[in-house]
Chains A and B, each alone.
Chain A
Amino acid sequence: NAGVTQTPKFQVLKTGQSMTLQCAQDMNHNSMYWYRQDPGMGLRLIYYSASEGTTDKGEVPNGYNVSRLNKREFSLRLESAAPSQTSVYFCASSGQGRFTEAFFGQGTRLTVV
């Protein structure tokens, strides 16, 4: 069972470039999330999707867009990357939303130069 799979694992972008981070889960979970982790900051919620067809902003949504393509897949797009978006990005999913444990992907380390 793969759980939550993120691609790519590493990425270097130039300022202004765009890219999409992919995430897929095979646990039939309704809820999916994107977090970013910065040194000394813990994880902060960027966007989430409580069910297929819905997406909502989290704590730090500026500069990002998301798409819940189907129940399995939830992508995160940076339209014009900025150095402030250098971070480790984690996708997660959970079965019953906010009160159940989330399962995390391996993370994507993104550097914007």
Chain B
Amino acid sequence: AQKVTQAQTEISVVEKEDVTLDCVYETRDTTYYLFWYKQPPSGELVFLIRRNSFDEQNEISGRYSWNFQKSTSSFNFTITASQVVDSAVYFCALSEEGGGADGLTFGKGTHLIIQP
């Protein structure tokens, strides 16, 4: 079973629209971390945010905001007033305390297209 599900394979919006990228995770651990990474067309992976399982406060960073809800096992990412430069593939990832391997379990990514 997928541990991190990003059901939206591709989203296309017009510039200045708000857009939310969904992330649903699965874990039996009480201690875990969730991450979001951005992969622009140039291919590198850029860290955006880390959130631990004990901190359900929403976070806002400029036009970016994250909504963490343990009750629904979701960690959604919203871009407000989207810009063309936001076009990228966005990955949600999970790291579990009890996981056998160190490292991150990634979702399959959401390709976000911002049209001018």
Residue numbers of A with Cβ under 8 A of B are 31, 33, 35, 40-45, 48, 50, 56-59, 88, 90, 92, 97-104, 106-107
A90 vs B45: C-alpha distance when bound (angstroms): 9
Range class of the B interface residue count: 20 to 34
Q: Is the CB of A106 within 8 A of B43?
A: yes
B35 in contact (CB, < 8 A): yes
Query: Looking across the interface, which residue of chain A has its beta carbon closest to that of B49?
Result: A101
Q: Is the CB of B102 within 8 A of A97?
A: yes
Total number of residue pairs linking A and B with CB closer than 8 Å: 64
Q: Is the CB of A42 within 8 A of B91?
A: yes
- Which residues on B sit within 8 Å (CB–CB) of A44? 106
- State which of B35, B43, B44, B99 has its C-beta within 8 Å of the C-beta of A101: B35
Q: Which of B101, B105, B106 has the most CB of A within 10 A?
A: B101
18 interchain pairs (CB within 8 A)? Answer: A33-B102, A33-B103, A40-B9, A42-B91, A42-B106, A43-B91, A43-B106, A45-B104, A48-B103, A56-B102, A58-B103, A97-B102, A98-B95, A98-B104, A101-B35, A106-B44, A107-B43, A107-B44
